[in-house]
Structures are given as C-alpha cells and as structure tokens.
Amino acid sequence: MPATIVVACDTRELIGLRGRVPWDSREERLHFRALTLGKAVIMGRKTWQSLPKAFRPLPGRTNVVLSHNREFRIGGPMVPQDHLRDALHPDVSGTTALVCESLTAALGAYPDAAVIGGADVYEQAVRDPAVTTIRMSFMKPCVTAGKYDVTAFPLEERAYFPSPSALAEQCFRRGRIENHSEFTDVTWVRQ
Ligand SMILES: NC(=O)c1ccc[n+]([C@@H]2O[C@H](COP(=O)([O-])OP(=O)(O)OC[C@H]3O[C@@H](n4cnc5c(N)ncnc54)[C@H](OP(=O)(O)O)[C@@H]3O)[C@@H](O)[C@H]2O)c1
C-alpha cells in the first residue's frame, strides 16, 4: 500500500493548539491505532515531543521522527538518511524508533508508511507524490464544541491541516466517506 496521511481535524482544519491536540476522543484514537498498527509512522520532531511519554514510541509501529538537528536524540543514535534502509529491519511485532533528516528518505525507506503530522510535515507530505491517500477524521461538534476557543490562542500556537482547496490544488479528490459517532472518516485520493 502506498504512503498515507493520517490526520484528525476540526471543521476549520485545526489540528493542534499550543502543541497539543485540543480534544479527546477514544473512538478516534482507536481508529488511528487501527490505521497505523504494524506500519512505519513518520512524524515531525514536535509531534514526537507532544506524545505522552507512556506512548512513545507508539507501540507496534516503527516510529520515524524527522529532524534537521543532528544532535537530536530519541534514546538511540541518530541514523543518517543514507543508512536508513540498512539500519532498520522493521519488525511489525515490535517497536523501533529512529530519527531521519529527510521526509523523502523516510518515504523511500518505508513506502507504505503512515505520515502522522504535525502541520509542518503534513504541508510537505501533501506535495509529495509518494503520498497518495489521506485518511482524515473530521471531529464532530459533540467532541469539539465548547472545548476550546481558537481566538484565545495567537496564530503561532495554532496548527492547521491544508484546506480542501489546497488539497484540490495538489490533485486530491474526496473519496469514501464513513460516519462514526464522534468523527467522520473522509478518504482523499491523489488523481
Ligand atoms: N490532529 C492531528 O491529527 C495531529 C497529528 C499530529 C500533530 N498534531 C499537532 O500538530 C502540532 C505540531 O505540528 P508542527 O507543525 O508544529 O510540528 P511538526 O510537524 O510535528 O514538527 C516540525 C519539526 O519536524 C522537523 N521536520 C519537519 N520537516 C522535516 C523534514 N523534511 N526533514 C527533517 N526534519 C523535518 C523539524 O524538526 P527540527 O526543528 O528538530 O529540525 C521541524 O521543526 C501540535 O499541536 C500537535 O499536537 C495534530
């Protein structure tokens, strides 16, 4: 399967506030788990740091953390991008974490990876032809309404996913739509 973006957003494409996801939905977390288990998950350094320590690395997945910083460590030595493929033999029953300097290298090493954010990484991934599908969870008002006031946060503390018109510019078309209690699962496919 080709690389897929997995994202949850509210109706205004908001995905994060002050470095955190501003809602809590067990149903959506289980959906995320089902979509990513056994795969490589590629994420930005800030998203990695936003994960609760008990959940990082995300279990049962090869965690690939993007950083330009050669000094950045997640517990093991940094694996240079040239050695990414040789250094790791993904074991879907176990969990591995590594740092990579390049989204292209990460997608090259794990062509069926799930790209799991954040905003900076999503922005690049929608432009990368190796990413052909987006699984977007549109959170429903029952989960988001009254939980946060976006206007109380300065712009630099808000994280957004590209809008439907920006996705259309990258030739994504809306596909299957599946209704769940707390979110709507929308699949976008690159044409
Ligand atoms: N709702 C959702 O589905 C969802 C999912 C994930 C995250 N989020 C939210 O998104 C927000 C974080 O997003 P963000 O945009 O601030 O940060 P981010 O995308 O998680 O991380 C950005 C960092 O990743 C590294 N990076 C990005 N592209 C790279 C590349 N091509 N090569 C090498 N390194 C690269 C850089 O790290 P260095 O600075 O170390 O070089 C960059 O500063 C948080 O609020 C989080 O909660 C939401």
DSSP letters, 159-191, are EEPPPHHHHHHTTEEEEEEEE-SSEEEEEEEE-
The span from the CA of 129 to the CA of 72, in Å, is: 28
Question: Is the bond preceding residue 57 a cis peptide, omega within 30 degrees?
Answer: yes
- Determine the distance separating the centroid of ligand 1 and the alpha carbon of 161, expressed in angstroms: 12
Confidence at 73, pLDDT banded by 50, 70, 90: confident
Residue 29: pLDDT over 90: yes
Q: Is the CB of residue 8 below 6 angstroms from any atom belonging to ligand 1?
A: yes
Q: Is the CB of residue 121 below 6 angstroms from any atom belonging to ligand 1?
A: yes
pTM of the model: 0.94
Q: What are the Cα distances from residue 3, in Å, to 12, 92, 113?
A: 25, 16, 5
Q: Which of 135, 142, 140 is nearest to 175 (CA)?
A: 135
Residue 81: pLDDT over 60: no
The span from the CA of 43 to the CA of 135, in Å, is: 15
CATH superfamily of 3-190: Dihydrofolate Reductase, subunit A (3.40.430.10)
Which residue would you say has higher pLDDT here, 177 or 100?
177
Least confident of 67-81, 126-140, 173-187: 67-81
The domains of the chain are located at 3-190
Between CA 116 and CA 28, with CA 161 as vertex, the angle to 5 degrees is 55
- Determine the distance separating the centroid of ligand 1 and the alpha carbon of 26, expressed in angstroms: 23
